[in-house]
Amino acid sequence: MTTAKKVLLTKRPEGEPVESDFEVVEAEMPELNDGEVLLKVEHLSIDAFIRTTLDGPQGLHGTMDVDTPVMALGIGRVLDSRSDELNQGDAVFGPMGAQTHVIWPANMLRKVDESEVPARTYLGALGMTTGLTAYAGMICCGEVKEGDTVVVSGAAGAVGTVACQLAKIAGARVIGIAGGDEKCKFLTDDIGCDAAADYKAGDLNEKLKELCPDGINVFFDNVGGDVLDAALDNIAKEARVVICGAISQYNDMENVTGPRLYLRIPERNARMIGFTVDHYAELFPKMEAEISGWIKEGKMQLPEHVMDGIENFPGAIIALMTGGHMGKLLVTP
């Protein structure tokens, strides 16, 4: 008999999530039914959408029930199988949830190819909520091209880090916005940004004016709020403003602050485009093939910040919301 540890949401957060909103419990795993597999969860992807699912029905990405394991995508390893589709030892991607073990019907899971990259890459650079999101936003919506000046907010996080590199590969000049010196240094030294702006130090609008004297052609926004306004004030004619997310708003979704300077859009014949990554599902194989190629050629990397232990899952959500990581945040249960 296998015993699993699970992190349950016991109370919906009021504003910023805190450890006491969660509880770690143990449970015996039941016997497998036909078609099912028992998985050991190897890596959990700590994604911004998790925060909004903790809210009630108004959550941007749907809601989860209280007293159930927190929703999370992840990579699992098949420990036992009663399915012809998956064998013991296979690595799979799917909705693992915040737990050490899970049982799913095999047809709910995607077997991942570990021959070229570690399985957890399918949560990061090749992950739907990370690399493929950055591709959909930067390439499909932002239509980035050589010579563009591109600004990315939340640039030192998972989606942001990939978005910056995609823009560099396209031949753009890239400026990342992040909180703090260490993250700005990471963006210029490790990720290849041409410059970085610390939104926590000084006037971001002024800094963007200095860094983008001819205006911003593509703004890839992960943050919303004041950061979006500062960028809008600096867009060039015919700019593309891509709304990937608005993490500055996720702790208070009933009082979302919209952009004040949205009239820069008509003034400058610009476009503001929002997207959800699943809208581009037909392109996922092409995106994966291209990103894999860039990884192999050494043109793309996604540093990881790994937190060990399922008990640290609540702390990881808190770290994501407060910027306590660089690159892709993962938990190994």
Yes or no: say if 158 and 133 are a contact pair by the CB < 8 Å rule: no
Position 121 contacts ligand NAP (CB under 6 A): no
Expressed in angstroms, the distance from the first to the final Cα of the chain is: 18
Question: Considering all CA atoms of the chain, what is the largest pairwise distance in Å, rounded to the nearest integer?
Answer: 65
- Classify 46 as helix, strand or coil: coil
Q: Where are the beta strands (DSSP E) in 2-73?
A: 3-9, 22-28, 36-45
In the complex, the smallest distance separating the C-beta of residue 205 from ligand NAP, rounded to whole angstroms, is: 15
Among 183, 207, 240, 264, binds ligand NAP (CB under 6 A): 183
Taking CB under 6 A as the rule, which mask of x and - marks residues 293-322 in contact with ligand NAP? ---------------------------xx-
Tell me which H or E stretch contains 282.
Answer: none
Tokens of 291: 């990103």
Position 284 contacts ligand NAP (CB under 6 A): no
Binding-site residue total for ligand NAP (CB under 6 A)?
Answer: 31
Q: Hunting for tokens 């050490």 — which residue is that? A: 100
Position 156 contacts ligand NAP (CB under 6 A): yes
Among 227, 300, 302, 331, binds ligand NAP (CB under 6 A): 227
Give the closest residue to 241 by CA, choosing from 264, 260, 257: 264
In the complex, the smallest distance separating the C-beta of residue 52 from ligand NAP, rounded to whole angstroms, is: 8
Smaller CB separation from ligand NAP, 58 or 115? 58
Among 118, 179, 215, 309, binds ligand NAP (CB under 6 A): 179
In the complex, the smallest distance separating the C-beta of residue 310 from ligand NAP, rounded to whole angstroms, is: 19
Calpha distance 93→132 (Å, rounded): 15
In the complex, the smallest distance separating the C-beta of residue 134 from ligand NAP, rounded to whole angstroms, is: 8
Smaller CB separation from ligand NAP, 169 or 321? 321
Q: Where are the beta strands (DSSP E) in the chain?
A: 3-9, 22-28, 36-45, 74-81, 91-94, 101-105, 110-111, 149-152, 173-178, 195-198, 216-221, 235-243, 271-274, 304-308, 328-332
Q: What separation in angstroms does the CA of 101 have from each of 19, 67, 90, 272, 316?
A: 22, 17, 15, 42, 19
Position 222 contacts ligand NAP (CB under 6 A): yes
Among 102, 106, 241, 329, binds ligand NAP (CB under 6 A): 329
Among 190, 262, 275, 309, binds ligand NAP (CB under 6 A): 275
Give the closest residue to 156 by CA, choosing from 300, 305, 329, 327: 327
In the complex, the smallest distance separating the C-beta of residue 16 from ligand NAP, rounded to whole angstroms, is: 10
Calpha distance 92→84 (Å, rounded): 14
Position 165 contacts ligand NAP (CB under 6 A): no
Tokens of 93: 């991607």
Calpha distance 162→222 (Å, rounded): 12
Among 178, 204, 208, 317, binds ligand NAP (CB under 6 A): 178
Position 154 contacts ligand NAP (CB under 6 A): yes
Among 94, 245, 259, 333, binds ligand NAP (CB under 6 A): 245
Position 256 contacts ligand NAP (CB under 6 A): no
Give the closest residue to 120 by CA, choosing from 329, 294, 285: 329
The amino acid at residue 173 is R
Stretch that binds ligand NAP, among 19-27, 82-90, 210-218, 244-252 (CB under 6 A): 244-252
Position 107 contacts ligand NAP (CB under 6 A): no
| Residue ranges that bind ligand NAP, judged by CB under 6 A | 47-49, 129-130, 133, 154, 156-160, 178-179, 183, 222-223, 227, 244-248, 275-277, 320-321, 323, 325, 329
